Structure 1
Amino acid sequence: MQLNGKVGVLVAAHGMSTASSMAQVVGQLLDDYDVQAFDMPLDMDPSVAYDHVKRRVEKLDSGKGILLLVDMGSLTTFGERIQQETGIATRTIDMVTTPVVLEAVRKASLVDSDLDSMYQELVGFKGYSRISRNLPTDSQRATVKPALATDKTAQRAIIAICATGVGTAERIKSILDSLLAQNFIEGITVFPISVVEMKTRIQQISQNYQIIAATGITKPELDVPFISLEELLQGGGEKFIDQLATGIDSPQTMAEESQQLTPELCERYLGDYFTFLNPKKLTGILWEYSEVIATHLDGVMTNAFRIDLIMHLAGALERTAIKDEISAPTEEMPDIMASKWYPLVQQANQQLTDQLQLTFSDAENYYIVQLLETHQAKVAMS
């Protein structure tokens, strides 16, 4: 199977399923890349194994070469011979492990990947348990204290901030949980929190956790790495993980400028992060909803708030469609219904009902109004 101009990755190892098991795990984590594998039974003649590997290399190559990941023995000698006989550029890395395969496939998936650069980077690859190794030691904590953590804090946390603490923040948590799992990083809990209760929740979380990073619609007053919601959704999560891995000397913010938010970009976000929604159908509808809200805001609607609003609405639509109901404090509903935003939300919701035949529950309306109230309060304070 050719990979449309990408470096091919072939895993080869001794045993009945050693290579294919690693490939299966990586394939499940990175489902947009077809990982190829060759299992070499211990009683297979090396010359027979060579012919199998050679045929797979020829089939896999798309012009950018093949990275051959092997365990030991005769398999380590195949790459150079295959290159001589076929002219296909081949590089071999031995002592293969699942993290090595995962990192190789991640690098091969990049549009601008090239064989020699991948090979050089993977030769020095030491695995993914980088955050644990780079956290400050007790002596370092004496002079540098991340967040509000105490020296005795054992558990680590990332806080995900949105207007309400539900919807977008929970989606951020899902993204980060997935990235942490893909990087085999354990022992980090992601907490979705509301910007309204941010200071209180940070104080509560820091009693039992060392807060090592933050992400979302606003940067908290913490001396930890931060990535904005826009940058995270635009694929900056990998860089964020790398930033955490650099430890106490890392810069405290992601400096890259985010793209201007467009309906096309929103469609991509919805397609990437929602399972039960049709982004082509919904993007225009949700963008129009945000425009209705924008006309009543004090000031210009920012990228961050438009993303937060659209992602929150998409989450509400998905929950409504699959009947995954959420709850809201009933004692606060009278205040919500008295909000100046409530009639506007009802008006915008009616458009959704007319176009999609879906009606938000009172609880969903509660959080939409809360999102708008929170945003306006934030604008008033700035």
Structure 2
Amino acid sequence: MDATKQLLSEVRVADFSRVLAGPYATAMLADQGAEVFKIEMPGHGDDSRHLGPFTETGSTYFTSLNRGKRSIEADLKDPVAHEKLLDFIRTCDVVVENFRPGVAAKLGLSFEDIKAVKPDIVYASISGFGQTGTQAKRPAYDTVIQALSGLMSSTGFPEDSPTRVGESIADVSAGVFAAFGISSALFHRQATGEGAHIDIPMLDVMLAMQPTNTAIHAAGSTPNRVGNRHPISAPFDTYAGSDGLVVIAVANDRLFGVLAATLGRPELATDARFATDGLRSDNDEDLRTEIEEFTSTHTVAELCTIFDAAGVPNSPVLNFTEAIDGPITAGRDLTTTDARTGHTHLRHPLLVDGARPTTTLPVPHLGEHNDELRAPRPRTTIDW
């Protein structure tokens, strides 16, 4: 490990999860120093090993989600492998799974099964709709959850169709909440000696990720598509420059006064149409006309320089490559390269005492750590 402080360095994880939500969570734990053992199907492994894009050293997608982990092959339906898995889990602190509800029980790997051999286990279950209820056994993918949660219907422009967010945000958010739930349960275990079963439904997570839409609903309205603008604040949108779009984000009256002065139109701050945030939002199209009279005569780069100098929050609209490789992230130490594959991936987004916790273990070959299942390596037991 490098010199960063890793807050989970005494934690061992048995990770039965596949593809994205679970592996994203356990990658977060591995970066924080947890010893993560990825339990994979013999001969095939996690499906994400076979998902592109690929280089000559394998899937870049798999590398980004499984850096810092160890791989054990195990046939979960084989009785001998099952007994060995239970022996191994006795040495673990955490189990993570994203089977469809009911499958873990059929495999003899439910929370109750694991608790019988490891009473203080922290067990995390990630699924589309939770472990109970009428929808529990429905299959779910990210796009399904975006559609069912209302996020898709409120994303895009009014004249266009509902739009999927341009990332598997339901999966990733479920992974973040899983890592949070696991860490919280480990803290609880330290205080009480008790384990816990953490149930992470993707639908519930995606609903929780919409506080603005929740507020609109609570006020008696249904959130609708409003394009790039903020649904309740203005000016908070993309505006036309002479060569592209610039983001302007103003959410209070004082800052609107600064923007008005910067536009050379200080009188806009006292215009009856724009006197408050609510009025500005109600008169958003009139406000757009006033703003674009100025912005349309300048390039995006010029506008960003002008607004930066005035202290008005702004941005060009970057693509991912421009964001990750450009000057905006320079010096942030955001990426690292896997020693085995040469694939570049993002490091942990949080800093601990000013440094990013990072694992230096390479992405594992399938079954590279099978010896751990044959004879689990002893570990120091934490005195909870």
- The higher-RCO structure (CA 8 Å, 6+ apart) is 2
Q: Which has the higher helix share?
A: 1
In the superposition, the TM-score normalised over structure 1's length comes to 0.31
